[in-house]
Amino acid sequence: MMTFRSVVGVSVICTIAACGGKRATEEVETETVVPVTTAPAEVGTIRAVIHATGDVNPAPNAELLVVAPEHARITEITKAEGDRVRRGEVLVRFEIPTLNAEATSKGAEATAAAARLENAKANQVRLKDLFDRGVAARKEVEDADREVSDAQAALSQAQAGHAASQTLANRQTVTATFDGVIAKRSHNPGDLVEAAASDPVLRVIDPARLQVDASVPISDLSRIVMGAAGRLIVSADLPPLPLKVVSRPAAVEAGTAAAPVRLNFVTAHSLAIGTPVQVEIDAEEHANVVLVPVGALVREGEETAVFIVEGDKAKRRPVVVGIADGLHAEIRQGVKAGEQVIVHGQAGLPDGATITIEKPGAEGEKAEGEKPEGAKSEGGKSEGEKPEGGKSEGGKSESGKPASDAQKPAAKK
Q: Residues 18-38: pLDDT tens digits?
A: 444 444 434 434 468 899 999
369 φ, ψ (degrees, to nearest 5) = 85, -5
As a whole number of angstroms, the distance between CA 74 and CA 199 comes to 13
Q: Which of 342, 410, 383 is nearest to 41 (CA)?
A: 342
Domains within the chain, CATH numbers bracketed: 35-46+286-357 (2.40.420.20), 97-171 (1.10.287)
The gap from C-alpha 232 to its chain's centroid, in whole angstroms, comes to 6
As a whole number of angstroms, the distance between CA 65 and CA 95 comes to 18
Q: Report whether pLDDT(368) > 70.
A: no
Q: Which of 17-31, 142-156, 349-363 has the lowest mean pLDDT?
A: 17-31
| Contact between 68 and 195 (Cβ < 8 Å) | yes
Q: Report whether pLDDT(250) > 80.
A: yes
What is the pLDDT averaged over residues 266-280? 92
What is the pLDDT averaged over residues 63-75? 92
What is the pLDDT averaged over residues 279-287? 93
345 φ, ψ (degrees, to nearest 5) = 100, 0
Provide the b/e sequence for 8-37 (b: ≥16 CB within 10 Å): eeeeeeeeeeeeeeeeeeeeeeeeeeeebb
As a whole number of angstroms, the distance between CA 57 and CA 332 comes to 40
**Alpha helices per DSSP H over 171-198:** none
| Contact between 306 and 297 (Cβ < 8 Å) | yes
Q: Which of 60-69, 97-106, 218-227, 229-238 has the lowest mean pLDDT?
A: 97-106
As a whole number of angstroms, the distance between CA 75 and CA 172 comes to 10
Element (H, E) at 10: helix 2-18
What is the pLDDT averaged over residues 388-409? 42
pLDDT tens profile 294-326: 999 999 888 999 999 999 999 999 999 999 887
Mean pLDDT, the chain, as a whole number?
82
Give pLDDT, residue 335: 94
